[in-house]
């Protein structure tokens, strides 16, 4: 059995694990692993689990802006608030998992973030399992090449692969990030493992519906997986032995069964057929004209889009600007969440008009190329250097379609994703699994040179690259451990809990509506206290520069927008107290408007 993994992880007992393990496990006449290979395999898995747990523990007191939104959506699903739950901007699977975790654990305000990071750790274990599937399929294909098997021990490939996995999962994507990107990478790894298995002999027909189901779940995790998933299914159909359109249709049917219901729901919600609204806004934002700043010069228009810059469209129902100099924005209905402008941007951005712009597209492609160069030649500089050394030493990329058909299969999903992101926007967290697949595919397709003394060079290079990656990872871990308390990227949870506690102690009730002096992005305290921000004054300095009568006028505008409370972070010296009430152990102040 190819997938005879003796390490038992709690999350691997899931139906997906059992099905994938059975379907990929039937392989005939393959050389078995040596005891040394097994010891290295299990040691690397143990290290991966330990590092994932360490990073999760270090991030237990942090939260991300997107994480607050996903938690709000999770609550909508938990309590059957379907109007708010069906969201055309954020994919649902991560919120489903968050909602299930919250329903089981029922954490307190202070432990909610820790519960979320415990879930992220389980997702990390799923991604680790999917990556191990990929490694085993790659190594099985390498065993079928006697020359390559003799030249490079499996242990070298494992060290190289796991070095890439550690860096991509822990640094590029980040276990600490409360986003679905790590879960997406698991589906990419699993789909690529199935692709490789389908390209080899004696593949089970059941892999086709399994592939379609996994890609469908990937789409439910993040919208761009629709293109990656369909591309992967198309490649599986073309690369199958023998080729069969029927097998591809089976995979496609399963994909539609998983993804179709959600597409129908959001299409009904938006009034037109849609697979998700995130793409249109991103294209407008990055290609048609990067939104500038509001007239007050304090925030990007991505939060309160009012139709600028010209040519981006006409808002159908944007946040309502009810005051001038400083601007006052109201957004209490009809969108839910603790901070509605970020809860469902597809509603506020309805009316955006993406259109092809050659100049803007070329500019974005140039930026994407720069980002790819930074990732591959700066963050992972050992890889291009290693590949160059091998090519100069006589190693060659395999030539001929039949030879590269299997070797390049690992690169296919990576190339699809890189091409897709290059045309719109590139971020490091999008590319974690992509870097792993492309690196393994490129190094895996190298053909040994005729000079036997140079054949061992690949093993040396693979181990050296793994050591360099391990050294950089050690520096990253040391930097994270040296930070105290809440100091990791993201929102400091302990401070947010203190703000929420102080609000409740001062008579604020769950479901109260509040206004905020400042920008409410990242206001995790609102969720923790159970209140909803319905209006805000982003230009903090302008507000405090006004005299008392003008401040009173703005406060009345905020009250007319539905806010019963006004909250500010820090107030200038000399501001009367009351009406501003300091919130104990925080920098925040409360002002009652009713």
Residue bearing tokens 């230009």: 539
In this structure, are 462 and 348 located in the same domain? no
What is the predicted pLDDT for the residue at 376? 87
Instruction: Count other Cβ atoms within 10 Å, centred on residue 397.
Output: 15
Asked whether residue 68 is assigned to any structural domain, the reply reads no
Residue bearing tokens 């006028």: 553
Asked whether residue 498 is assigned to any structural domain, the reply reads yes
Report the alpha-carbon distance of residue 70 to residue 89 in Å, rounded: 11
In this structure, are 350 and 365 located in the same domain? no
Please name the residues in contact with 226: beta carbons below 8 A apart, sequence gap of 6 or more: 219, 259, 275, 276
Closest Cα partner for 156 from 170, 133, 138, 144?
138
Q: pLDDT category, 87, cuts 50, 70, 90?
A: very high
Q: What does the pLDDT average to over 570-589?
A: 86
Closest Cα partner for 304 from 357, 347, 368?
347
Asked whether residue 5 is assigned to any structural domain, the reply reads no
* Higher-scoring residue by pLDDT: 14, 221: 221
In this structure, are 154 and 128 located in the same domain? yes
Q: Which of 482, 513, 535 is the last residue of a domain?
A: 482
In this structure, are 245 and 227 located in the same domain? yes
What is the predicted pLDDT for the residue at 132? 96
pLDDT tens digits along 401-460? 444 455 577 788 888 999 999 999 999 999 999 999 988 888 877 777 766 666 678 788
pLDDT at 384 over 70: yes
What is the predicted pLDDT for the residue at 117? 96
Contact present, 347 and 354 (Cβ < 8 Å): no
Tokens standing for 344?
């469902």
What is the predicted pLDDT for the residue at 473? 82
* Higher-scoring residue by pLDDT: 35, 80: 80
Report the alpha-carbon distance of residue 185 to residue 431 in Å, rounded: 9
pLDDT at 590 over 70: yes
Asked whether residue 281 is assigned to any structural domain, the reply reads no
Q: What does the pLDDT average to over 49-72?
A: 94
Report the alpha-carbon distance of residue 81 to residue 98 in Å, rounded: 16
In this structure, are 445 and 523 located in the same domain? no
What is the predicted pLDDT for the residue at 120? 97
Please name the residues in contact with 260: beta carbons below 8 A apart, sequence gap of 6 or more: none
Asked whether residue 84 is assigned to any structural domain, the reply reads no
In this structure, are 161 and 225 located in the same domain? yes
Residue bearing tokens 């003008």: 550
In this structure, are 559 and 473 located in the same domain? no
**To which H or E segment does residue 590 belong?**
strand 588-592
Taking the CA of residue 463 as centre, how many other CA atoms within 13 Å lie in the half-sphere pointing to its CB?
A: 11
In this structure, are 470 and 514 located in the same domain? no
In this structure, are 53 and 168 located in the same domain? yes
pLDDT at 6 over 70: no
What is the predicted pLDDT for the residue at 243? 63
pLDDT tens digits along 65-78? 999 999 999 999 99
Asked whether residue 348 is assigned to any structural domain, the reply reads yes
Q: How many domains does the chain have?
A: 2
Tokens standing for 460?
């040396």
Residue 336 sits at the vertex; the CA angle it makes with 77 and 90, to the nearest 5 degrees, is 60
What is the predicted pLDDT for the residue at 8? 39
In this structure, are 335 and 381 located in the same domain? no
In this structure, are 161 and 242 located in the same domain? yes
Q: Which of 459, 482, 505 is the last residue of a domain?
A: 482
What is the predicted pLDDT for the residue at 371? 92
What is the predicted pLDDT for the residue at 380? 81
Q: Which of 482, 513, 545 is the last residue of a domain?
A: 482
- Distances in Å between the Cα of 18 and the Cα atoms of 14, 24, 207, 407 are 6, 10, 13, 27
Q: What is the DSSP string of 533-572?
A: EEEEE--HHHHHHS-HHHHHHHHHHHHHTT-SEEEEE---
pTM given for the model: 0.90
Q: Where are the beta strands (DSSP E) in 272-312?
A: none
What is the predicted pLDDT for the residue at 28? 35
Letter string b/e over residues 460-499, b meaning 16 or more CB atoms within 10 A of that residue's CB = ebbbbbbebbbebbeeebeebeeeeebebebbbbebbbbb
- Mean residue pLDDT of the chain comes to 85
In this structure, are 335 and 347 located in the same domain? yes
Q: What does the pLDDT average to over 494-511?
A: 94
Q: Where are the beta strands (DSSP E) in 494-564?
A: 513-517, 532-537
Tokens standing for 347?
């509603």
Q: If 0-12 CB within 10 Å is exposed, 13-18 middle and 19+ buried, where does residue 573 land?
A: exposed
Q: What is the DSSP string of 201-257?
A: TT--TTHHHHHHHHHHHHHHH-TTHHHHHHHHHHHHHHHSSS--HHHHHHHHHHHHH
Most confident of 133-142, 200-209, 486-495, 562-571: 562-571
pLDDT at 586 over 90: yes
Asked whether residue 87 is assigned to any structural domain, the reply reads no
Residue bearing tokens 């591809």: 248
Q: pLDDT category, 2, cuts 50, 70, 90?
A: very low
Asked whether residue 231 is assigned to any structural domain, the reply reads yes
Specify the range with the lowest mean pLDDT, choosing from 37-46, 89-98, 302-311, 318-327.
302-311
Taking the CA of residue 171 as centre, how many other CA atoms within 13 Å lie in the half-sphere pointing to its CB?
A: 23
Instruction: Count other Cβ atoms within 10 Å, centred on residue 271.
Output: 8
Q: What percent of the chain has pLDDT over 70?
A: 85
Q: What percent of the chain has pLDDT over 90?
A: 53
Which residue segment(s) compose the domain that 124 sits in? 10-60+107-268+360-482
Report the alpha-carbon distance of residue 375 to residue 510 in Å, rounded: 45
pLDDT at 482 over 80: no
Number of H helices, E strands in the chain: 25, 11
Report the alpha-carbon distance of residue 434 to residue 192 in Å, rounded: 11
């Amino acid at each position: 059995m190819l997938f005879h993994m003796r390490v038992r992880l709690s999350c691997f007992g899931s139906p997906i694990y059992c099905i994938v393990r059975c379907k990929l496990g039937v392989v005939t006449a393959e050389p078995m692993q040596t005891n040394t290979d097994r010891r290295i395999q299990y040691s690397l898995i143990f290290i991966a689990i330990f590092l994932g747990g360490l990073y999760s523990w270090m991030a237990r007191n942090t939260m991300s802006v997107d994480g607050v939104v996903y938690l709000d959506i999770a609550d909508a699903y938990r309590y059957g608030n379907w109007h708010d739950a069906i969201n055309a901007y954020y994919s649902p699977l991560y919120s489903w998992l968050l909602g299930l975790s919250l329903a089981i654990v029922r954490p307190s305000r202070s432990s909610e973030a820790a519960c979320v990071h415990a879930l992220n750790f389980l997702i990390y274990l799923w991604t680790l399992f999917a990556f191990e599937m990929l490694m085993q399929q790659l190594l099985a294909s390498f065993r079928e090449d006697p020359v390559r098997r003799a030249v490079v021990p499996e242990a070298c490939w494992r060290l190289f692969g796991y070095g890439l996995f550690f860096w991509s999962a822990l640094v590029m994507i980040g276990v600490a990030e409360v986003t679905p990107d790590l879960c997406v990478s698991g589906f990419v790894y699993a789909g690529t493992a199935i692709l490789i298995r389908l390209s080899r002999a004696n593949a089970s027909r059941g892999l086709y519906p399994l592939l379609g189901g996994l890609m469908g779940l990937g789409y439910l995790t993040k919208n761009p997986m629709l293109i990656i998933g369909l591309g992967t299914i198309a490649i599986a159909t073309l690369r199958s032995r023998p080729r069969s359109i029927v097998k591809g249709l089976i995979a496609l049917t399963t994909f539609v069964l998983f993804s179709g219901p959600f597409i129908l729901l959001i299409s009904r919600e938006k009034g037109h057929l849609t697979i998700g609204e995130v793409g249109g806004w991103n294209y407008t934002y990055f290609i048609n004209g990067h939104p500038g700043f509001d007239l007050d010069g304090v925030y990007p228009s991505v939060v309160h889009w009012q139709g600028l810059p010209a040519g981006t469209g006409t808002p159908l129902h944007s946040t309502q600007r009810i005051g001038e100099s400083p601007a006052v924005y109201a957004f209490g209905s009809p969108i839910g969440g603790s901070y509605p402008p970020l809860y469902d941007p597809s509603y506020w951005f309805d009316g955006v008009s993406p259109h092809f712009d050659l100049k803007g597209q070329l500019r974005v492609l140039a930026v994407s190329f720069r980002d790819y160069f930074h990732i591959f030649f700066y963050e992972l500089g050992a890889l291009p250097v290693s590949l160059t050394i091998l090519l100069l030493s006589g190693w060659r990329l395999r030539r001929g379609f039949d030879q590269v058909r299997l070797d390049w299969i690992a690169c296919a999903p990576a190339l699809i994703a890189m091409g897709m992101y290059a045309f719109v926007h590139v971020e490091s967290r999008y590319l974690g699994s992509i870097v792993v697949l492309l690196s393994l595919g490129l190094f895996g397709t190298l053909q040994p040179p005729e000079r036997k003394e140079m054949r061992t060079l690949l093993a040396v290079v693979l181990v050296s690259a793994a050591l360099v990656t391990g050294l950089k990872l050690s520096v990253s871990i040391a930097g994270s451990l040296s930070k105290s308390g809440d100091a990791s990227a993201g929102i400091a949870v302990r401070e947010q809990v203190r703000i929420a506690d102080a609000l409740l102690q001062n008579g604020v009730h769950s479901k109260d509506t509040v206004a905020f002096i400042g920008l409410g992005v990242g206001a995790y305290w609102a969720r923790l206290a159970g209140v909803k921000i319905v209006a805000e004054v982003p230009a903090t300095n302008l507000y405090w520069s006004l005299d008392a009568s003008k401040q009173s006028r703005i406060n009345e505008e905020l009250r007319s927008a539905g806010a019963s409370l006004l909250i500010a972070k820090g107030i200038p010296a000399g501001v009367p107290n009351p009406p501003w009430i300091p919130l104990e152990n925080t920098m925040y102040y409360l002002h009652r408007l009713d």
